[in-house]
Structure 1
């Protein structure tokens, strides 16, 4: 899985750069993907990460699965420290605010995410039971 992850992520980043975010691996499938454009929590530098999302009304939901690794992906720390970010959805760059969901809001969003992408449930088991961070992205 590690080799597959590296190949997918590397190829996705290359396609993203070459096409300005208009074409990625996810755009070739039925999955919805976007690029988070964040500020590094420790470095303060611009960071870009491609993730799956699910539209939820006027907002979007994203999950910090980290391919089922036991630790949260770094981009989730970036969102916690600097929640006002941009996203690139198919070449359309938008300003959004990321909100970490908890309690009933998280559970409802989690149900929506797993219905769209059942592999997220597998990532929980693979990670040793880590509660994956779920964020709502809303326009600002």
Structure 2
């Protein structure tokens, strides 16, 4: 995927995620058959560069739902902090790429969306039990 207005996109510095992004692109979004994976590109809040990561998603109608679990780490993932600073993101699902806006689910919205994400990736519940921070649920909508 080309960045916004031809900008370079930098893949996750995490080697496993970078390999997964590469596999996602090679397979037209089918890197892990049976899993709903997407590529999310955010603007780095410190660097200003475009940053791409691969994430599991759920669907709530036309909306995409993400869990900012960071693998159960005590801190929020960089992609989440980036979209808090700039909610305008780019998403790739399969071979389709589109502009979107991301936001944290409200306290009222979160419970059913969290259950959706746990149904897709049960390890999210384990992650939440292991850490003190509340794992945010992110809603991504096409613009």
TM-score band w.r.t. shorter chain: 0.7 to 0.9
Query: Tell me, what secondary structure is at the counterpart of 1:104?
Result: coil
RMSD of equivalent CA atoms: 1.7
Larger helix share, 1 or 2: 1
Deviation of 1:15 after TM superposition, in Å, equals 1.8
State the aligned residue count: 130
Aligned with residue 129 of structure 2, among 122, 125, 129: 125
- Structure 2 gap ranges (5+): 1-13
Tell me, yes or no, if the aligned pair for 2:17 and 2:53 is still in contact at 8 Å: no
**TM-score, normalized by length of structure 1?**
0.84
Residue equivalent to 1:58: 62
Give unpaired runs (5+ residues) of structure 1.
Answer: 1-5
Distance 2:124 2:83 in 1: 20
CA shift for structure 1 position 130: 1.9
Native 8 Å contact 1:85 1:97 kept in 2: yes
Q: Distance in 2 between matches of 1:53 and 1:133?
A: 13
In the superposition, the TM-score normalised over structure 2's length comes to 0.83
Q: Which residue of 1 is the match for residue 86 of structure 2?
A: 82
Change (3 A) 1:7 1:49: closer
Kindly report which structure 2 residues correspond to 1:65-104, keeping only aligned pairs within 5 A, or say none. 65-104=69-108
